[in-house]
Amino acid sequence: MYKGLPMSETQKQKILIVDDHPTNVLVLRKILEKEWDVQSAPDGLTALQVANEKPVPDIILLDVKMPDIDGYEVCRRLKKSPDTCDIPLIFVTSLREMKEEAYGLGLGAVDYIIKPVNGSIVKARVRNHIALQQARKELTLKNKALEQLAIRDNLTGLYNRRKLDESFAQEVARSDRYNRPLSVIMLDIDYFKAVNDTHGHHVGDAVLVQTAEILLATLRTSDIPGRWGGEEFLIICPETPLDITVKLAERLRLNYESHDFHEAGRLTASFGVSTHHKGTHAKDIFLSADAALYRAKNGGRNRVESEIQKSE
């Protein structure tokens, strides 16, 4: 179940007050410090430095008139940086003209408060904007989680068929453009139906999960593993010629047959390896790998076979 952003009960959100007048800072601090962790900066340059310190402020209250760079320039710079662009900014200023307020909001500020401030109004606006920012962060996390669900196999957590197709198309384009090697490994668990029939599907599922763990533990960081379907897995191996991919598949085979699958005992897997050649259709590498896998199955299983795809 999805949970919101982790936040201990004692952890307070961070507010940065930027004002060159200590009295103004003191007034705002007294209003806010009981509910939030309040920090301050006496000028724009210091504010930029503090705003980039981790964790970044949850909100910034910013004066406009300051001696080195004014609040408008501070706002511009914060909004240009990917590290600080999402921090809500509230201008707190004595500038009362509507054109000033419109200008500040146009730079990306979320609010504009006129001095002298009213404590209740300041707290209400700060509270509202922090809550809104928190909701946005949680929505971003949920969207990322949904994106992962769309590309991951629910059982193993590896890439699903859709994501493998997408990744492979990208790697083929890169291979063709830069004339770089690209190979794939197809893996099929031997006698997997017997595992389900003998021990039940819950054991079969556990085997699939452990298969994914073996892949992740054995493969290189550049390899792209995924569940192709059923008990079949595919590994995309960028920048890897056929002979090196065959050695990688053999290492996978050895690790697989030595693994204890608990209730299912010792199992084996068969492997088909193929490589992509520029000028051939992208799907031909899968047909070639599948043909090699078929040979491995017919040749007694628990073996690696390769079939080089020939260009036309």
pLDDT in tens, 254-266: 999 999 999 999 9
Looking at residue 102, what DSSP letter applies?
Answer: H
**In this structure, how many other beta carbons lie within 10 angstroms of the beta carbon of residue 34?**
9
Tokens 């085997």 sit on residue = 207
pLDDT in tens, 122-151: 999 999 999 999 999 899 899 888 888 889
> What CATH architecture does domain 14-149 belong to?
3-Layer(aba) Sandwich (3.40)
233 within 8 A of 211, measured Cβ to Cβ: yes
Instruction: Give the bridge partners for 189, in sequence order.
Output: 269
Would you please indicate which residues are annotated as catalytic (active-site) residues? 231
Is residue 169 within a helix (H) or strand (E), and if so which, with residue range? helix 161-178
Does domain 161-306 match CATH 3.40.830.10?
no
Instruction: Give the bridge partners for 61, in sequence order.
Output: 17, 90
More confident residue, 311 or 94: 94
Q: pLDDT at position 11, please?
A: 77
Q: pLDDT at position 47, please?
A: 96
Helices and strands (H, E) in the chain, number of each type: 10, 10
Distance CA 143, CA 37 (A): 29
Model confidence, pTM: 0.65
14-149 and 161-306: same fold?
no
Averaged confidence pLDDT in the chain:
92
For the chain, which residues make up each domain, given as ranges?
A: 14-149, 161-306
Q: What percent of the chain has pLDDT over 70?
A: 95
Strands 182-189 vs 269-275: parallel, antiparallel or unpaired: antiparallel
Backbone angles phi, psi at 46, to 5 degrees: -65, -40
Q: pLDDT at position 1, please?
A: 33
Q: pLDDT at position 271, please?
A: 98
